[in-house]
Amino acid sequence: MTPSVPPGPAAARPAGRLVALAVLAGALLRLRQFAHGRPLWIDEAMLAVNVLTRDFAGLLHPLDSDQLAPVPFLWAVRAATLVGGADERVLRLVALVAGIALLGVVAALARRTLAPGPAALATGLVALSPLLGWYSNELKPYITDALAAALLALAVARLRDAPERPARWWAVGLLGLVTALASTAAPLILAGVGAALLLPPTGRRRATVAAWALAWGACWAVVYLLVYRATSGSTYMQRFWIPNFLSPGLPGLGSKVVTLPAALLREWFVGEATPVRILTGGALFLPLAAGVVALVRRGGAWLVLAALVPLGLAVLASAVRLYPVAPRLLLFAAPLVGLLLAAGAGLVADRLARWRPAPWLGLGAVMLLGLPALDAVRDLVAPPEREALAPLVRTLQREAAPGATIYVFGRAVPAWVFYTTDWRAPDTARVRHHVSLVSSTGAAFRHAGPRGHPVAQEGDSLAYRLGPWTELVGIPSGTGPDSLGVNGAVEDAGWADNEARRIQAAGGPEAWLVLSSHRAGVAALLDSAMVRRGGVRLARLPATGAEVSRWRFAGVR
């Protein structure tokens, strides 16, 4: 049997064009989502109001609304808004730039570390990754974490080519310091880099590696103490993340350990949780394992360590409740894992070609990229949205009668506040008050757990003036996480009747109910309570993840 021959320049040229095509396709997908400018949803809105109501010095302090983000990311977003204003696209510009830059970095890294065909496949996996694409258009720092990890891996690859050059050591070291400042996942990312540097040929300079590791650790420790500790250590956040901790003694630990790896691969590279995609995510273990073998054989053990050491440490940190193992919080590892998958596909294709000549790598690429490619085409035609409250707010502002009562469901408050604020001359006192009100220490916490008793006569003080209208902030429905992190199955008894009572008592010629980030059934529950109070629904305006309804009570003209 004739052994496979390494590809020469003639074979590399088509693969190089495929790499460029993958980068271009990924950039176009991200630009299409960016141009669509989908409305902010609750998590983005909470971070947006922090950015827009603080100056650069204020962003050095712990954020409101239980939010956490690196200061450089916040500063970059704030700088963008000072130039472009408080627009969804402007707020997401930093993520977009990071997402497109990531494509180029991964392409460069793949061409340095993989054969031409697998390099093209790796770039395609990152370009079509559902989660990497989504967070390239999200006001969250997860995509910048992924960019930092990929940049460091590329810097290490360049250093390994010329370890005698001090400039390349400085490049790795300084990038590590930037990562310590700019990523909440920095300890995990940098641990993987440190492990990679301990292998030959860089491992001969262990004192230099140790010095940079100490500098990185000290830098991140200062950031943690000054910025992250207050939020990450809060009682609510610890409770919120319980389902993503792998701590002994927590319910369902065994099933979490079994399903987590496949869930990570599926969400990163396959997409939504349909039965076929769940099976596909599990099947990715074969090329992943083969990729580890392929890279170790080709002198790429350092890349395996850079990719997998952070994930292993995340699992250990999760066991002691220091880091949740959620797909978005581990997204920094996705680009390097994509390289491992592509390397494994190349190895499998090579072995199959020795058995029977065929374009096995091309067939493997179709299998790996087929589903996310179909999703990409769909999203190009109809960009996805999560909560489209913005157009409903504009309709309400245009049509609500003077004196109307506007009831805002607690979890809708952040987006409601963002879209009802004139950011050219913002009422920052109102913004800060409302987002504080629905934060975990506020009187109307948006995600409070079950009360353990029926609701009666609550929330009467949560009424405010908003222009010509009366604004009511909703009280918690009681479906937030309990002490084991399990969300309530149903709203607290009496909650909907209490809210309908408040709406009727506020008076006015009509009432508008504003809902978003709500569970299925909440709207019907409130509707029934309003009808029991003599309410008549005049209109219902639904949208993705949100709705607004218009009501009048019997006897009111």
Tell me: the pLDDT tens digits for 49-82? 999 999 999 999 989 888 999 999 999 999 999 9
With 0-12 CB in 10 A as exposed, 13-18 as middle and 19+ as buried, what is 537?
middle
Number of H helices and E strands in the chain, helices first, is 24, 6
Q: Are residues 410 and 300 in the same domain?
A: no
Q: Is residue 126 part of a domain?
A: yes
Q: Are 310 and 185 in contact (CB under 8 A)?
A: yes
pTM of the model: 0.94
Write the pLDDT tens digit of every residue in 414-453: 999 999 999 999 999 999 999 999 998 888 998 899 999 9
Write the pLDDT tens digit of every residue in 189-212: 999 999 999 999 999 999 999 999
Q: Is residue 68 part of a domain?
A: no
Phi and psi of 438, rounded to 5°? -100, 10
Tokens of 95: 């993520």
What 8-state DSSP symbol labels residue 228? I
Domain boundary among 381, 404, 420: 381
Task: Beginning with the edge strand found earlier in the chain, give each strand of the sheet holding 511-516 in spatial order.
Answer: 463-466, 469-473, 405-408, 511-516, 546-553, 535-543
| Mean model confidence pLDDT for the chain | 93
Residue found by looking up tokens 């099947």 in the block: 283
Q: Are 409 and 417 in contact (CB under 8 A)?
A: no
Write the pLDDT tens digit of every residue in 221-273: 999 999 998 888 788 888 888 889 999 888 888 888 888 899 999 999 999 88
Average pLDDT estimate for 527-539? 96
Q: Is residue 139 part of a domain?
A: yes
Q: Is residue 29 part of a domain?
A: no
Q: Are residues 199 and 342 in the same domain?
A: yes
Residue 557 binned pLDDT confidence (cut-offs 50, 70, 90): low
Average pLDDT estimate for 521-547? 96
Q: Are residues 320 and 463 in the same domain?
A: no
Say whether pLDDT at 16 is over 80.
yes
Query: Range of 513's domain?
Result: 390-553
Residue 483 binned pLDDT confidence (cut-offs 50, 70, 90): confident
Report the CATH number that the domain containing residue 523 is assigned in CATH. Answer: 3.40.50
Say whether pLDDT at 3 is over 60.
no
**Residue 485 DSSP SS3:** coil
Kindly provide the residue ranges of all beta strands, DSSP E only, lying in 419-528, ordered along the sequence.
463-466, 469-473, 511-516
Measured between its terminal Cα atoms, the distance across the chain in Å is 90
Residue 530 binned pLDDT confidence (cut-offs 50, 70, 90): very high
pLDDT at 255: 87
Q: Is residue 17 part of a domain?
A: no
**Residue 541 DSSP SS3:** strand
pLDDT at 5: 40
DSSP for 381-399, written as a single string: HS---S---HHHHHHHHHH
The rounded distance, in Å, linking the Cα atoms of 257 and 74 is 34
Domain boundary among 333, 351, 381: 381
Q: Are residues 372 and 394 in the same domain?
A: no
Q: Are residues 478 and 436 in the same domain?
A: yes
Domain boundary among 381, 402, 436: 381
Q: Are residues 491 and 532 in the same domain?
A: yes
Q: Are residues 295 and 343 in the same domain?
A: yes
Q: Is residue 2 part of a domain?
A: no
Domain count, the chain: 2
Q: Are residues 335 and 421 in the same domain?
A: no
Write the pLDDT tens digit of every residue in 80-116: 999 999 999 999 999 999 999 999 999 999 999 999 9
Nearest to 199 by CA among 347, 344, 300: 300
Say whether pLDDT at 358 is over 60.
yes
- At residue 468's C-alpha, the angle toward residues 467 and 471, to 5°, is 75
Residue found by looking up tokens 């913002």 in the block: 426
| Beta bridge pairs of residue 473 | 408
Q: Are residues 411 and 441 in the same domain?
A: yes
* Residues listed for the chain: 557
The answer for residues whose C-beta is within 8 angstroms of residue 244's C-beta and 6 or more apart is 318, 324, 325, 326, 329
Write the pLDDT tens digit of every residue in 19-42: 999 999 999 999 999 999 999 999
Are β-strands 535-543 and 511-516 bridged in parallel, bridged antiparallel, or unpaired?
Answer: unpaired
